[in-house]
Amino acid sequence: MIPASFPPAAEIARLTARALLEIKAVHFNAETPFTLASGLPSPTYIDCRKLISYPRIRSALMDFMTVTVMRNAGFEAFDNIAGGETAGIPFAALVAERMALPMTYVRKKPKGYGRNARIEGAMSEGQRVLLVEDLTTDGGSKLSFVDAIRETGATCAHTAVIFYYDIFPETEARLAGHGISLHHLCTWWDVLAEARAQGSFDDATLTEVEAFLKDPRAWQTARSKA
């Protein structure tokens, strides 16, 4: 069912950040940084997959995503909701249910046998597709998913995520250059503000996290040389 209320974007961001902190999806550790897929260090890590195990929070955030997309892109802007393998699949299904639209999912690469397909489900030429994912960092994985959708003859000009890093300035320009608009619920800046308001982490940790968010490349370079 499509939500009837439209919370302001700032309130959606605050409540989403609060929810992520509440279920301990947010991890800050400046002393022993996490290693990202790139091999670079980071004092931050977020696990949006945990949301699927918390039905009340999951439902609220999917309502938020639905109203955010409709407010930004339009009430009748889409014909199909696609989830990116694997984290985007449950969220795409939940958004599709709310918008009463077909749901599909996109593989990271062809499965290597049978139809060798990247698109699972029914997607047809001319359909306007919304790509749903859990998060985006630099937007790179979105380009591959969008290209796979477009190869079917469908169009894909929008992607929606729960969490957007918002610390790499090239991300939105990169997506825009590929004809994609990004919609998100909250960022690291929203999480940092809510963590400070709640006292979720000690001051030294939050100070180090803020230093990373302001200049992640410099922070990573310094730590990599340490």
pLDDT for 4 equals: 64
CA distance 61 to 52: 11
Across residues 192-202, what is the average pLDDT? Answer: 96
Instruction: Spell out the domain ranges in the chain.
Output: 9-225
Q: Tell me, what DSSP letter sits at residue 134?
A: E
Average pLDDT over residues 195-212: 95
pLDDT at 180 over 70: yes
Look at domain 9-225 and name its CATH class: alpha beta
Average pLDDT over residues 201-211: 95
pTM of the prediction? 0.93
**71: region left, alpha or beta (phi > 0 left; psi from -120 to 50 alpha):** alpha
Instruction: Report the percentage of the chain scoring pLDDT > 90.
Output: 81
Q: State the pLDDT at residue 139.
A: 83
Taking 80 as the threshold, does the pLDDT of residue 2 lie above it?
no
| CA–CA separation, 59 and 141 (whole Å) | 25
Residues with Cβ within 8 Å of 173's Cβ and at least 6 positions away in sequence, in order, are: none
pLDDT of 219 over the 70 cut: yes
What is the pLDDT of the chain when averaged over all its residues? 93
The secondary structure of 161-205 as a DSSP string is: EEEE----TTHHHHHHHTT-EEEEEEEHHHHHHHHHHHT-S-HHH
Peptide bond into 86 cis (omega under 30): yes
Q: What type of residue is 135?
A: L
How far is Cα 108 from Cα 119, in angstroms, rounded to an integer? 10
User: Is the Cβ–Cβ distance between 31 and 96 less than 8 Å?
Assistant: no
| 3-state SS, one letter per residue, for 32-74 | CCEECCCCCEECEEECHHHHHHCHHHHHHHHHHHHHHHHHHHC
The three-state secondary structure class of 85 is: coil
**pLDDT tens, 49-105?**
999 999 999 999 999 999 999 999 999 999 999 999 999 999 999 999 999 999 999
